[in-house]
Every structure is written in C-alpha cells, then in structure tokens.
Amino acid sequence: MRNRLPSRTSIGAAVVLGLLALVVPAAQAVAQRDASREARERRIGGVPREVALEVTRLFNASGTRRVRGDFTVASGDTVRGDVAVIDGTARIGGVITGQLVVLNGDVRLLDGARIAQALTIVGGTLEAPERPGVDGEIRVWSARYRYREEADTLVAETDLFARWARWVRDDESTRTESQLFVTTAHTYNRVEGLPIYIGPRLRVRAGDTRVRGELFGIFRTGDQIAWRPENRGHRALLEVRQGARSGLAVGGRLFDEIDAVERWQLTDTEIGLNSFVFTRDYRDYWRRHGGQGYVSLYAGRASELRVGYGEERWSSRPMRNVWSIFNDDIAWRANPLVDDGVFKLLTVSATIDTRTSSARPRSGWYLRGEYERGDGRVNVFAPLTEGVRVPPAGTALPLNQGVTYGRGLLDLRRYNRLGPSAQLNVRAVVGGWLDGDPLPAQRRFAVSGIDALPGFDFRQMDGTQDLGTCATGIETLYEQLGRPAQCERMVLLQAEWKGDFRFNFFGDDDDYGDRRWNVGRMRGDGTWVLFANAGRGWLIDRPGPSSLPNNDLADLTYGKGEIPGFGTWRTDVGGGFDFGDLGVYVAQAVSQSGLSPNVYVRLSRRF
C-alpha cells in the first residue's frame, strides 16, 4: 500500500474548513452580540403598566431634576441625583450620580459618560459605545409614553380611572392618536362626589402644527350613583396650535361643568383628599353652562398670553351627602348659593414663568394675572350677610337686573437662592373689583384657611365684622349661608425662609449625597421652613344707606382707591418641615390674641 501525499485540492479544502471553523463562531458571536444590543436598545410593544407608573413616580418626585426639551451633560461635568427628561434628546458625556429617565426622546451616551444607576428610555432610542457606562439596568421601549398633566405633575394613562381603552395609530409624518378616554375630572368634592369624564379624544401632529379634539360626557357619582340630570354634564374642545416651543393657539369649547370658587388657594389633590377622608371641603362650587372661543400666544415652558370670549349660564348647586371615610356622621358645610343668570365674559390672562423648576423651584419669577369683564343679567341674587350687599333697609334686591363688572387677580412670586442649601421666597396675591357693579357672589374673595393665613381657622368669624371673609352679624347666620367668601377686594403677602437638612440614624453610605427621602433606611432629607403671612379683605364703599345700625361698616368698607392700613391686617407666623410631597407645619396668629396654634399638613409646597 502506497502512501499518497495530499493533493492541492484537499489542502485548500482543509484550509478553508479551518478558516470557517474560526470565522463562523466569531461571526455568530458578533451576530449574537448585535442582536443582544439591538434587543437592549429597543423593546417592541406597549410599555408595561408597572414601568409607566415607575417612571411617572420618578418624574414627579421632589428630588428629581426635571428637564423639558434637550438636555446635555458635558464631559467632565457631574449632575447629582436623579434626572428625568421629557420631549427631548439627552446627550451625556459626564456623570449622573442617580438614574436617568428619558420620556419620548432619545439618549446619546458619549465615551466617558457614566450613569451610576439605571437608564430607562420610553418612546425613544439609545446610541451608546460598545460598553456603555451604565452601572444599573438599561431598559428601552420604542412605544411612546402616554400621559396627561395635572398642575405640576404627570399622570400616566394606564390605570382604570385614567384609561379604559385606547386605539392608537402612529404615523411618523402625522402622528395621529385617537383614544377612548375615561378619567376623573378634577377632584372629589361635596357637590359632585367623583366626577368622571368619558369620551373620545383625538390628537394630530404634522410638523409644528398640532390639533386636539375632545368630546366628553360627564357623570357625577353624587350621593348615590343614579342617571339623573344633576349627575350629567359635558365638555367639548377643539384647538389648533402652530409652533413647537412657541407659537399661536386658536380654540373653542362647549361645557356644562361644575366650577370652584377661589381656585388660587389649595391644590385639587389637597381638596379632594380632605373631602374624601375627613369630610372637609375647603371650596365652594357652582354650575357653568355655555361656550367660549379663545386665542393664545405661548412661549417656553409655561409663558402664555390668552384672550377668551364666551357666554355662560350660572346657577347654584346644592350640597350632596357624599361619602367620606372619617367623620361621615358629621354634616357637610352647606354649599353657598350664587347669583343665577346669563353672562357674556371677556377674559384676558397672562403667565410668565422663569423658575428653575415648577415642582421645586430654587430661583426665578412666577407671574399669573387675569382680568375678567362680565356683562349679563342676574335672575336671582344669592343672599349674603347683613349689610354686605343690600339696597335701603326694608327693600329687596330686584330680579332680572343687568350687571356689568370688572374683576382682576394677580399672583406674583419670587424665588431667591441664598446659597447651596437656603432660600428666601416671597409672594403677593392681589385680587378684586376693578370697575362697574358689585361683584357677583361667586366672583368674590376670602383670605382664610391653611393656604392663606393658617394661623386662623377656615372662615371662622372674628367679631361682627370679619376681616378675612367680610362676613357681618351673627356667626350662626353666616354658617347657615355656607360661610361664603364675600370680600370685593383682598391682598395677601407671604414670605418663607427655607434651608436643607438631613438625618440618618445608621450612618451615611451614599457616596453622592443627594437622595431626598428613603424610609427603608431610616433616612430623610427635606427642608425646614420659617414663614410669615399677612392679609385681609374688604368691601368697596358706595353711596347709600345700609341695613346695619348707624350705617356702621367702617372696618370693612374703603373707597375705590384706598387700601386698608397695615395695622388692620391679619398676620401669623409659623414653621415646619417640608419633605417635597409632604409638609408638616404649625402656625400661630399674631394680630389677634387668645387663639391656639394650628398644626396642619400640606401635600404640596406652600407656594
């Protein structure tokens, strides 16, 4: 048997097979790595409910740095704490000591970038080096983050009361969304119970043009769930906006809703929880039925100039025996009557906001002003306390009387950062009658309660002429009316000094030191607060006799161009601790002796 040398063909085949043996596993590894990276960078499908709620909680957290629009961390820079970006691209070249959440935007990680905790992207993509500097988990979903805004917070449209069903068609050129929407309207209260909005909503976006349409039916749970006229309402809206960060908006709306008197005080959340839990409703309500058209110019995060004109029918709504958790055996405060009639309203409002953050501002200005011109006829005037709004003694207010008035409200705030951990913030709120006839009952004011003067009890009369509510006479009669706000003008000044504090019972192992609240580790960060408030309300002096003895309303009435002397104002001082979403305070009246301190809790910052 002869030995045969391998042919050139067999040698070449062996070499090829050897190369394949080396190349194929390498190619498979590269493919697996690319597939793993692609899976890491984009998860197809809807965002899980728990993830949507998680990123919403982080965005709303008091210690989170919120950014609207593009966000950049340059190489060598360090941002301490958690960061949440919405509707913008995040370019990270430096260090973020917390976690990064980007909603409806992309993330670009540069060489040398480091995120000490997790990176979560909802509604965007990730571009990063082969080994991104993210110490925690990386999660990316291509599906958009669906939300709505309520005051200064986001609400994810995931749970039963926020969304019952949704159909979405997402086209890159137009981005059209149509939804069947179910949500609670504003807040639980003693007139409606829980108002629920049900109906379709349409949003279309083509470039910088956005169209929004809504058609909602309103169902109010009231004191019992029943299909009755007083439990039903509606709201329809159509708006066109031209411009991304600034531009022009034109819209119109039709409505049959319940509105609140003096919304400028406590937040909806605080009103709703006090009503639902403790049978205490610090607002009054009336029905508005009509339509309005408006035009607005907007710029930046929250600056806007808006002009609206419409016609509405106003009417009273009775208090309902709605359910609450505690004190359910105690009767609700009666809902005051309002002036029933039809009004044409011209409204001009402006907002300027330069604050570093709307949720936790460190510096900047906030200005909100509104002028309302009403012209209509009142069919029935609401009763007020003696002498506040009456014709000569022995006569009654006429029916179907024409009323024309001008009303203004100005809320000015300044936030001053004194140092890395100290602030001095001031606020002035001025509102009231400007011209024409006396203000309707539902457009009047009061300076009373835990948002304005917490050292004084809510709308409790002080003597026979109350400087906070402009109530007169006997308190039992005022209580029968529901304790309405009766002042035609008011002024409120507030100041607070705040400083950061920390405590940790078991030492501090936080290398970066910017966590705001952590119950599980017996550690808490927040701010201490010292504050002072001063304010009062008054009536406009008009010629004509009063029903009070000797025409004696001297402590309440002032001329059209007069402001009560500061010595007549109510004042209080106090202090407490603010943990962002929770504050505990104590306030003591100063201008009046004999009152005990009031201890109270807030679910938002003071202002």
Q: What is the pLDDT of residues 540-571, one digit of tens each?
A: 987 654 444 444 577 899 999 999 999 999 99
Strand 232-242 to 570-578 pairing? unpaired
Both tokens assigned to 55:
């990123």
* Cα 437 from Cα 391, distance rounded (Å): 13
Cβ pair 285, 335 in contact under 8 A: yes
Within a domain: residue 422?
no
* Cα 552 from Cα 16, distance rounded (Å): 111
For 400-420, give one letter per residue: b (16+ CB within 10 A) or e: eeebebbbbbbbebbbeeeee
The residue segments making up the domain with residue 235 are: 160-268+285-335
The candidate with the shortest Cα–Cα distance to 434, out of 345, 373, 486, is 373
**pLDDT at site 597:** 96
Helix (H), strand (E) at residue 36 = helix 8-41
List own/partner pairs for 413-421 with CB under 8 A and 24 or more apart. Answer: 413/365, 413/366, 413/367, 413/607, 414/364, 414/365, 414/366, 415/355, 415/356, 415/361, 415/362, 415/363, 415/364, 415/365, 415/366, 416/363, 417/362, 417/363, 421/499, 421/500
Cβ pair 517, 551 in contact under 8 A: no
On the CB side of 38, CA atoms within 13 Å amount to 7
**pLDDT at site 219:** 94
**pLDDT at site 7:** 43
**What distance, in Å, lies between the first and last C-alpha atoms of the chain?**
102
What does the DSSP assignment read for 173-209? TT--EEEEEEEE-S--BTTTBSEEEEEEEEEEEETTE
Within a domain: residue 177?
yes
**pLDDT at site 46:** 67
Spans of the chain, pLDDT less than 50: 1-17, 19-42, 44, 159-173, 392-395, 505, 508-524, 545-551
* Cα 529 from Cα 499, distance rounded (Å): 7
At residue 32, what are phi and psi to the nearest 5 degrees? -65, -40
Handedness of CA 50, 56, 60, 62 (dihedral sign): positive
Within a domain: residue 431?
no
User: Residue type for 434, please?
Assistant: L
**pLDDT at site 40:** 43
Query: Partners of 241 in the beta sheet?
Result: 210, 249
**pLDDT at site 516:** 40
Within a domain: residue 603?
no
Burial of 226 (0-12, 13-18, 19+ CB in 10 A): exposed
- Whole-angstrom CA distances from 183 to 186, 253, 363 are 9, 18, 34
**pLDDT at site 175:** 62
Burial of 576 (0-12, 13-18, 19+ CB in 10 A): buried
* Cα 563 from Cα 572, distance rounded (Å): 20
Counting every residue written for the chain, the total comes to: 607
Contacts of 286 (CB under 8 A, 6+ apart): 258, 259, 261, 314, 315, 316, 317, 338, 442
Q: How many domains does the chain have?
A: 1
The candidate with the shortest Cα–Cα distance to 185, out of 145, 224, 214, is 214
3-state secondary structure at position 59: helix
Cβ pair 426, 363 in contact under 8 A: no
Cβ pair 486, 461 in contact under 8 A: no
Within a domain: residue 600?
no
pTM over 0.85: no
**pLDDT at site 281:** 94
* Cα 149 from Cα 26, distance rounded (Å): 50
Within a domain: residue 246?
yes
Cβ pair 69, 165 in contact under 8 A: no
Contacts of 162 (CB under 8 A, 6+ apart): 148, 155, 156, 182, 183
Alpha helices in 386-436 (DSSP H): none
**pLDDT at site 24:** 41
Instruction: Cite the beta strand spans of 336-488 per DSSP E.
Output: 340-353, 364-380, 401-419, 422-436
Write the pLDDT tens digit of every residue in 227-285: 898 999 999 999 999 987 789 999 999 999 999 999 888 888 899 999 999 999 999 99
Cβ pair 223, 253 in contact under 8 A: no
* Cα 321 from Cα 336, distance rounded (Å): 15
**pLDDT at site 197:** 92
Instruction: Cite the beta strand spans of 207-267 per DSSP E.
Output: 209-220, 232-242, 246-260
Query: Partners of 465 in the beta sheet?
Result: 472
Within a domain: residue 24?
no
* Cα 526 from Cα 524, distance rounded (Å): 7
Within a domain: residue 230?
yes
Contacts of 365 (CB under 8 A, 6+ apart): 352, 353, 354, 355, 412, 413, 414, 415
